[in-house]
Amino acid sequence: MIPHIQESEKMMKFHGTTILAVRHNGKVAVAGDGQVTLNNSVVKHSAKKVRRIYNDKIIVGFAGATADALHLSEKLENKLERYNGNLIRSAVELARDWRTDKYLRRLEAMMIAVDETQTFLISGNGDVIEPDEGVMAIGSGGVAAHAAAVALLKQAEIIGFDARKIVEEAMKIAASVCVFTNDVVSIEEFR
């Protein structure tokens, strides 16, 4: 085949994002960058990857295939309705279904879900993980955002940062080192 035809037949792939959740002094903030890439191009700068569900009582942030992540968000909301807003029970049930269901296990996404007291990473491997330090991050810039947030959290009392300020600054750092993360950030928080 002619090289340019081969390239056009390849599946276009969206990837890259950064989601960060920080819990500090009884408050939690969840941030997501806005960049959407398609192969080697940035196709959107201001996507909203963090949103509120279940009557605004739960904040979710997702990384991965957008349609898959939105489907999982809807599934989590259905579980929350079934279990009267119990986030841990809903997260465990979603992770179990995600891992065992023939259709769901093909979905390519990860999710962070928080309420006023709990933070969880939910994955298709059946994982429901609560962070030790009050910081959880996923996506291509997740490692940089996590490291920056932990460092800022350790100095938060000295520098006067709350949860929102920590996620703002950590996301700036992630955007400066990850080419799939930008500095157009959306933040949701519980105060």
Instruction: Return the pLDDT at 58.
Output: 98
Instruction: Return the pLDDT at 15.
Output: 55
- Which residue is listed with tokens 């959107």? 44
Residues annotated as catalytic (active site), given as ranges: 17
Higher pLDDT, 1 or 128: 128
Higher pLDDT, 44 or 64: 44
Best CA proximity match to 76, nearest among 46, 110, 106:
110
Higher pLDDT, 3 or 38: 38
Instruction: Return the pLDDT at 191.
Output: 81
Q: What is the percentage of the chain residues whose pLDDT exceeds 70?
A: 92
The mean pLDDT value for 93-101 works out to 89
Alpha helices in 19-162 (DSSP H): 66-82, 87-100, 142-159
Higher pLDDT, 83 or 68: 83
| Long-range interactions of 124-131: CB distance < 8 A, separation 24+ | 124/95, 124/98, 124/99, 125/99, 126/95, 126/96, 126/98, 126/99, 127/95, 128/88, 128/91, 128/92, 128/95, 131/21, 131/23
Instruction: Return the pLDDT at 11.
Output: 44
Taking 90 as the threshold, does the pLDDT of residue 136 lie above it? yes
Three-state secondary structure call for residue 170: helix
Summarised one tens digit per residue, pLDDT across range 14-55 is 457 899 999 999 999 999 999 988 878 888 999 899 999 999
Instruction: Return the pLDDT at 82.
Output: 97
The mean pLDDT value for 66-70 works out to 81
Summarised one tens digit per residue, pLDDT across range 101-126 is 877 777 778 899 999 999 999 988 88
Taking 50 as the threshold, does the pLDDT of residue 13 lie above it? no
Q: What is the rounded distance in angstroms from the CA atom of residue 101 to the CA atom of residue 146?
A: 31
Q: Does domain 21-135 have CATH number 3.60.20.10?
A: yes
Instruction: Return the pLDDT at 167.
Output: 98
Q: How confident is the model at residue 3 (pLDDT cuts 50, 70, 90)?
A: very low
The mean pLDDT value for 136-144 works out to 94
